[in-house]
Structure 1
Amino acid sequence: MTLRCSESAAERGDPMVGTAPPQREWLLVEHHGPWPVRAPFDTELSVDLLRRLRHPEQRVVLVRPHVRERAGAIRRRWFRCRDGELRTGHWERPEDLLETLRPEAGTPHVGPLLLVCTHGVHDTCCAVSGRPVVAALSQRWPAETFECSHLGGDRFAPNLLLLPDLACYAQMSPEGAVSLVEAHLDGRVETGSLRGVAGLHPAEQVALTAALERWGPAPLSAARARLVHQAGTLDDGRWTVDVAGSDPLPTQAQVVVASSRRAEARLTCRATRATRALQWDVVSWSTATLD
């Protein structure tokens, strides 16, 4: 029997750190129907509108409550995550979403948002693994939890994005997801399930995660990573990252991360051919900055 991509990745031991999405800004658009394969495309949101809403730093994702709204509901919500702040508003017509381009659009949203990918028509693993997790989180945080369209990292499903912290977690059980979120909100990042922080360079994600693992438990805010030097290419490179920390982390550390390619593998359930995924590994710490 053919294994699903997440089962194959777990069997291979694919490392997931450094694989969080590259966007640091997120626009979440409430959608009450089934997920289109190419969401957010192929919806009532036109290609022209999406071109205006999306940019290299901002990703547009469809969201829906785990407990579905009535089919006739017209006013739907949007949420925007930018610069560590969440704002929210409502939309009826697609063009209403252009309001989100204004910095002061909507009203501040207090509290986190928990997004779980359940985009099964994009990848079976997202639905099979994501739905039990979103059900468990909805029991604990009903107002904060949403299903969402594609987050990437299908082979690491289930995938969970916490906003506004931009923390991306994966490969957790439903019960583990609840304890993981409780720990995160309490300032204790569980690095074993952390893919990284969205918007950071992969090497920065790896260095930050390694620092939290070495000196934690600590909140994400205790570490700030900055890429300062690159040598080589993605296929065979060395990336030097400065990590500025606050208690319990040291004030300053320097981490060297290596990038390489793994053996060919089928990385998603829908993949028609094998590809070679990137792998990121910590190879050294600056001894001058170790505690």
Structure 2
Amino acid sequence: MSESQTLGNCRFCSVVSKNSGEDPIGTAGTYDHWLIVELALPWTEKSLREDPKVQPIMALIQKMSLEGMKIQALAIAPNQEYSQPGSTRVLYYRRPAKFFAQFEKQEFCIPTEMLPALATALLTRSQNLPQFEVYRQETQTIRDLFVCTHGNVDIACARFGYPIYQTLKRDYARHSNGKLRVWQCSHFGGHRFAPTLLDLPEGRYWGRLEPNVLDTLISRTGSVKDLSPFYRGWAGLTQLAQIVEREIWIREGWDWLNYLKAENTIPATESHNLQKPDGVAVQIDFVNTNGDTSTYQAQVGENGEVMSLSASGDKQPLTAFKQYHVIHLKKKIRFKQTKQDN
């Protein structure tokens, strides 16, 4: 069977999901660390498993994950506009504090044989890290967009991800004066929302992206609400808090991206105000750019379910996915900065 016949006969999970009305919010991975490594295509399970450069890194990540560390490892495809011959690029992002707006970034271009040693030093915060200083890249002001094109995991990612990758690279990255890079990357979950995108250093996940929303996504102008159907969530929060955070972002506007924020447990003295039998209480605290500390308290409840595909394919069965919505949201100002406080 030819590739065109295969694509023509395949039920794409992302098409079924969209037609079912499934809401992508709350499907972002919750991570404190990303290790992103330049690796040549194709990314097959066999090649990633047997690559001697990758084996020790994956073993370490597996060990640290079992110990409770929230790490996402990704591969990015070498790119003639960004890559350096004979070197491997490594991007490492970590959560800098409990309250934060974006992840802390480090980037290196190293001789490939040094990859396992650098990855170990980054993940363990080893005292050996200074020896790689000569390979550090000053890219703190660069925004990186990672588009999943990993068709070996699910064909929808290649079918829908690659065209969005090309559009972002051609129409946005090339006209950004070096402030924006776009990468093909390996799978980071949520292929039923393809094309999917990870925006770092903020750590925001997007899905079902269409060309007509890219201007708003990249320029951060216009209506936040127009982007809400494509938003999967922020990696700094857990699932239900991601659902609440979308509603807060719509209320607060684009300034919300710059606010330091964190998910917290609602104090017992206040939880009685949110007790409803059909919901779960969520609290997000934040500090705005004026230094005012505020809290949003919310109740998240189930909102039915939709039938969708967990993977692309003609023989894949439909699966029920629960949907959620915010049924109560209230803002409280905890501390307002004054001139005497500055």
TM-score by shorter chain over 0.5: yes
Aligned residue for 2:308?
265
2:325 equivalent to 1:281: yes
CA distance in 2, matches of 1:50, 1:237: 38
Higher RCO structure, 1 or 2 (CA under 8 Å, sep 6+): 2
Measured after TM superposition, the shift of residue 40 of structure 1 is: 4.8
Q: Is the 8 A contact 2:30 2:235 kept in 1?
A: yes
Task: Identify the range of structure 1 (145-154 vs 36-45) with the bigger mean alpha-carbon deviation.
Answer: 36-45
Identity %: 22
Structure 2 residue corresponding to 1:148, chosen from 178, 185, 206: 185
Q: What is the number of residues matched between the two proteins? A: 283
Structure 1 residue corresponding to 2:169, chosen from 116, 138, 146: 138
The structure whose residues are more often helix, as a share, is 2
CA distance in 1, matches of 2:35, 2:332: 42
Q: Is the 8 A contact 1:125 1:154 kept in 2?
A: yes
Partner SS state of residue 255, structure 2: coil
Distance 1:238 1:98, change over 3 A: same
Structure 2 residue corresponding to 1:195, chosen from 209, 221, 232: 232
Task: Identify the range of structure 1 (107-116 vs 75-84) with the bigger mean alpha-carbon deviation.
Answer: 107-116
Distance 1:188 1:14, change over 3 A: closer
Aligned residue for 2:3?
none
2:70 equivalent to 1:57: yes
Distance 1:284 1:77, change over 3 A: same
Query: Where in structure 2 are there 5+ consecutive unaligned residues?
Result: 1-8, 96-102, 272-277, 334-342
Structure 2 residue corresponding to 1:166, chosen from 176, 199, 203: 203
CA distance in 2, matches of 1:125, 1:285: 35
Distance 1:91 1:259, change over 3 A: farther
Measured after TM superposition, the shift of residue 153 of structure 1 is: 0.8
Query: Where in structure 1 are there 5+ consecutive unaligned residues?
Result: 231-235
Cα RMSD of the aligned pairs, angstroms, is 3.4
- Residues 219-268 of structure 1: CA deviation (Å, up to 9, x unaligned): 423362414259xxxxx751322343527999332111124772443222
Distance 1:64 1:252, change over 3 A: same
Partner SS state of residue 284, structure 1: strand
**Aligned AA (2:329):** W
Partner SS state of residue 27, structure 1: strand
TM-score by length of 2: 0.71
Q: Which one has a bigger Cα radius of gyration?
A: 2
Aligned residue for 2:116?
95
Measured after TM superposition, the shift of residue 63 of structure 1 is: 0.5
